[in-house]
C-alpha cells in the first residue's frame, strides 16, 4: 500500500465559528513587498497551534508537517516519510523517513522525533480530541530513518490518522511555547502571535522543498462582514465570503470558488418523542412526532428541488447532494433524482398525512406535518439554506419553521429538532459518528438517534478490515443501509468562495478539495502561492 485515495485529512471534529467578531489589525494588503494579508476566518485562533494538543490537524503543510500529505489528485504522497508498507494482518505500519530534513530552528529531523510525537500524543490522549491513537500499541524506531507502528488491533483509518499529526522535535518540544510558536518541519514559522488579532508567519528557510516565495503572510482575526469591508478598502489580499456574496464586485480582486468535501444537511430525528437516560444518568428528551415517520423523511428527500434551493440560497454556487461527495473514495452516493413533488405527495398521503382543512399543511391523527429546523451560530448561509428548503417543502404540504440558535442552545435542541449541519472530512469514521448506535447522546454525533444493527455490523467490519478495499466496501454498505432510512436530508456540496487579489496566484492546480473549515482550508497550499 503505497499511495491511495485519501480518506482523511482531519479527524472527526467540528470547526465552528460562534459569535466571533473582531476588526483585526490595520494592515496594507494588495500584495505589497512586505507580504500579504489574509482573512481565513477566526477558527485558526480558537485553539493551540501545537500538534500534540490537536492543533492544525487538518493535514495542511503549515508549521508542522506530517509523515504523509495529500496531493491535488486526492492521493496520499510522502511528506516526512518517503515510503510506507502495511503488514498483511494490518497491525504493523513501517515508514521510511525523508533524509536531510531540518526543523525551523535548524535541528535535524529523525525517527526519534516521530516516536516522541506519537508517544506524547498517546500518553496525553485526553488533551487531543483531533488525533485518535487509542489503537496504537507502540511506536519504535529501527534506525534513524525508519519508524514502525504496531497496532493493538486492525484499524483501517490509522493511515489517515498519520496524515493529520504534525511532527514536533523531541529535544526542543515546549508545551507552553508551542501553543503559539510551534517548531516544525513545515514551510512556515510563526514569528508573531497576537491572540484574537493576528498570526504572522514567514518562510522556514530550512524547508526541504525550499522556502515559499512570499516573504510574510499575516493571518488576521476578522468576522465575515468586517473582512469583506476590509477587502473593499484594499486592506486584504484574500477573504472568504459566503456564496450569497459571490456575485459582488471588489476592486482589484476576483472571485475564486474551490471544490470541497463540505456538505450541508439537515438532521431528522428518527425516533418518537420520549425521555431517555444519557451516560451520566440524566434525563434527555429525544425524538420528534413528525420526522420519526420515515415517510416524511423520504418525501423530503425525493420531493425537494436541490438545484432550485441552491439557486435561491447560494446564487447557484454549489452542487446538489444526495450523500457524501464523489471525491471521497468511501462515499456511497445515492443515485435517485429529486424534485419529484407529486411522488412525495403520494408517499405522504399513503402514510395518512393529508391536508384536511385546505390550509396547505398536511396532518395525521390531529398532528400537523410541521417541525422546526435551526440554523446554528451566526451562519447566515445556513439560515438562507433552511429557508429555501422550507419554501420548497411547503409545496407538498410539509411545514418547516426556520429559527436560529446559538451553539450552546443547539446542544439542547439537536435531539428533537432539525439542525443544519456542516460536515466535511476525509476520514470515513464520520459515518460511524453519524450512524452508529453507540454514538447517540455523545456530543454532536448521531443526534438523530439512528439505530440499525445491520449498519452497526458493517461499520464494525469497516474499522477492523485488513485491507483498504475491504474497508471501503464495508463503509459503503453501512451508508447504503442507513441512507435507506433517510435520517439526514442531504442538500448541497458547497463550494468555498474567496475574493483573491489580482496580484496573487493561489495555485488552483495544487489546491486539495477543501474539507469543512470556515475559511482556513485555502491555506493548504500556501507554500505554493506567488505574487504576479
Chain segment 352-376, per-residue pLDDT in tens: 999 999 999 999 999 999 999 999 9
Residue 30 has pLDDT above 70, yes or no: no
Domains and CATH numbers, the chain: 36-260+495-531 (3.40.190.10), 263-493 (3.10.105.10)
Distance CA(301)–CA(476), nearest Å, equals: 19
519 confidence band (pLDDT: 50, 70, 90)? low
Cross-strand pairs, 370: 399
> What is the average pLDDT score of the chain?
89
Q: Is 507 left (phi over 0), alpha (psi -120 to 50) or beta?
A: left
Residue 479 has pLDDT above 60, yes or no: yes
Greatest Cα-to-Cα distance within the chain, rounded to the nearest angstrom? 78
245 confidence band (pLDDT: 50, 70, 90)? confident
36-53: per-residue pLDDT in tens? 999 987 878 877 899 999
248 confidence band (pLDDT: 50, 70, 90)? confident
Residue 492 has pLDDT above 90, yes or no: yes
**Stated pTM of the model:** 0.84
Q: Return the pLDDT at 338.
A: 95
Cross-strand pairs, 488: 267
Give the residue among 300, 213, 218, 247 at the shortest CA–CA distance from 485. Answer: 300
190 phi and psi angles, rounded to 5 deg: -80, 125
By mean pLDDT, which of 71-85, 252-266, 356-370, 394-408 is the weakest?
71-85
51-88: per-residue pLDDT in tens? 999 988 765 668 999 999 887 776 789 999 999 999 98
Give the residue among 208, 266, 527, 205 at the shortest CA–CA distance from 388. Answer: 266
Residue 214 has pLDDT above 60, yes or no: yes
Q: Tell the residue number behind the cell numbers 500500500, with chain if given.
A: 1
| 366 CA to centre of own chain | 41
Distance CA(355)–CA(500), nearest Å, equals: 50
Residue 469 has pLDDT above 90, yes or no: no
Residue 297 has pLDDT above 60, yes or no: yes
| 99 CA to centre of own chain | 32
Q: Return the pLDDT at 290.
A: 98
* DSSP 3-state of 123: helix
By mean pLDDT, which of 16-20, 178-182, 257-261 is the weakest?
16-20
282 confidence band (pLDDT: 50, 70, 90)? very high
339-357: per-residue pLDDT in tens? 999 999 999 999 999 999 9
8 A C-beta contact, residue 513 and residue 327: yes
526 phi and psi angles, rounded to 5 deg: -60, -25
Q: Is 388 left (phi over 0), alpha (psi -120 to 50) or beta?
A: alpha
Q: Mean pLDDT throughout 411-415?
A: 96
Q: Return the pLDDT at 2.
A: 32
The kind and range of the H/E element at 320 are strand 319-320
Q: Return the pLDDT at 200.
A: 96
Q: Return the pLDDT at 11.
A: 29
Q: Return the pLDDT at 6.
A: 34
Residue 9 has pLDDT above 70, yes or no: no
Residue 409 has pLDDT above 90, yes or no: yes
By mean pLDDT, which of 23-27, 147-151, 349-353, 492-496 is the weakest?
23-27
418-446: per-residue pLDDT in tens? 999 998 888 889 999 999 999 999 999 99
Residue 517 has pLDDT above 80, yes or no: no
Report the C-alpha dihedral over residues 324, 325, 330, 331, rounded to 10 degrees: 40
Q: Return the pLDDT at 210.
A: 96
Q: Return the pLDDT at 25.
A: 40
Amino acid at each position: 500500500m503505497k499511495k491511495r485515495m485519501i480518506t482523511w485529512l482531519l479527524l472527526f471534529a467540528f470547526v465552528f465559528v460562534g459569535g466571533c467578531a473582531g476588526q483585526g489589525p490595520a494592515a496594507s494588503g494588495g500584495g505589497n513587498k512586505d507580504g500579504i494579508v489574509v482573512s481565513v476566518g477566526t477558527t485558526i485562533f480558537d485553539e493551540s497551534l501545537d500538534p500534540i494538543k490537536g492543533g492544525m490537524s487538518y493535514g495542511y503543510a503549515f508549521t508542522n508537517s506530517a509523515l504523509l500529505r495529500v496531493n491535488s489528485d486526492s492521493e496520499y504522497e510522502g511528506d516526512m516519510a518517503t515510503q510506507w508498507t502495511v503488514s498483511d494482518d494490518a497491525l504493523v505500519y513501517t515508514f521510511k523517513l525523508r533524509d536531510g530534513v531540518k526543523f525551523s530552528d535548524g535541528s535535524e529531523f529523525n525517527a526519534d522525533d516521530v516516536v516522541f510525537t506519537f508517544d506524547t500524543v498517546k500518553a496525553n490522549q485526553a488533551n487531543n480530541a483531533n488525533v485518535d491513537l487509542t489503537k496504537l500499541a507502540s511506536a519504535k524506531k529501527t534506525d534513524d530513518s525508519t519508524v514502525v507502528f504496531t497496532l493493538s488491533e486492525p484499524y483501517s483509518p490509522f493511515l489517515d490518522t498519520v496524515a493529520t499529526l504534525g511532527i514536533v522535535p523531541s529535544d526542543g518540544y515546549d508545551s507552553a511555547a508551542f501553543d503559539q510558536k510551534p517548531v516544525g518541519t513545515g514551510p512556515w514559522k510563526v514569528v508573531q502571535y497576537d491572540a484574537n488579532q493576528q498570526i504572522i508567519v514567514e518562510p522556514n528557510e530550512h524547508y526541504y522543498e525550499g522556502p515559499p516565495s512570499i516573504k510574510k503572510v499575516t493571518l488576521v482575526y476578522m468576522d465575515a462582514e468586517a473582512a469583506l469591508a476590509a477587502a473593499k478598502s484594499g486592506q486584504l489580499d484574500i477573504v472568504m465570503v459566503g456564496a450569497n456574496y459571490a456575485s459582488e464586485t471588489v476592486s482589484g480582486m476576483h472571485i475564486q470558488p474551490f471544490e470541497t468535501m463540505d456538505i450541508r444537511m439537515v438532521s431528522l430525528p428518527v425516533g418518537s418523542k420520549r425521555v431517555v437516560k444519557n451516560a451520566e444518568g440524566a434525563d434527555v428528551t429525544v425524538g420528534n412526532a413528525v420526522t420519526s415517520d420515515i415517510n416524511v423523511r423520504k418525501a423530503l428527500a425525493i420531493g425537494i428541488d436541490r438545484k432550485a434551493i441552491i439557486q435561491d440560497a447560494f446564487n447557484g454556487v454549489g452542487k446538489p447532494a444526495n450523500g457524501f461527495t464523489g471525491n471521497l473514495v468511501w462515499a456511497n452516493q445515492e443515485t435517485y433524482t429529486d424534485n419529484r413533488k407529486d411522488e412525495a405527495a403520494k408517499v405522504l398521503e399513503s402514510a395518512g398525512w393529508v391536508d384536511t382543512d385546505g390550509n396547505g399543511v398536511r396532518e395525521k391523527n390531529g398532528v400537523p406535518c410541521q417541525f422546526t429546523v435551526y440554523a446554528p451560530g451566526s451562519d447566515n448561509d445556513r439560515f438562507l439554506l433552511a429557508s429555501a428548503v422550507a419554501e420548497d417543502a411547503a409545496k407538498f404540504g410539509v411545514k418547516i419553521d426556520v429559527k436560529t440558535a446559538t451553539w450552546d442552545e443547539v446542544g439542547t435542541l439537536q435531539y428533537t429538532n432539525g439542525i443544519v449541519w456542516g460536515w466535511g472530512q476525509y476520514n470515513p469514521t464520520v459515518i460511524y459518528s453519524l450512524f452508529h448506535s453507540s454514538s447517540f447522546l455523545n456530543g454532536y454525533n448521531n443526534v438523530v438517534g439512528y439505530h440499525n444493527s445491520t449498519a452497526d455490523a458493517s461499520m464494525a467490519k469497516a474499522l477492523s478490515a485488513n485491507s483498504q478495499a475491504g474497508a471501503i466496501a464495508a463503509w459503503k454498505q453501512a451508508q447504503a443501509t442507513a441512507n435507506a432510512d433517510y435520517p439526514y436530508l442531504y442538500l448541497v456540496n458547497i463550494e468555498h468562495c474567496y475574493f483573491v487579489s489580482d496580484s496573487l496566484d493561489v495555485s488552483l492546480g495544487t489546491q486539495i478539495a477543501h474539507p469543512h473549515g470556515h475559511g482556513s482550508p485555502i491555506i493548504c497550499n500556501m507554500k505554493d502561492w506567488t505574487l504576479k
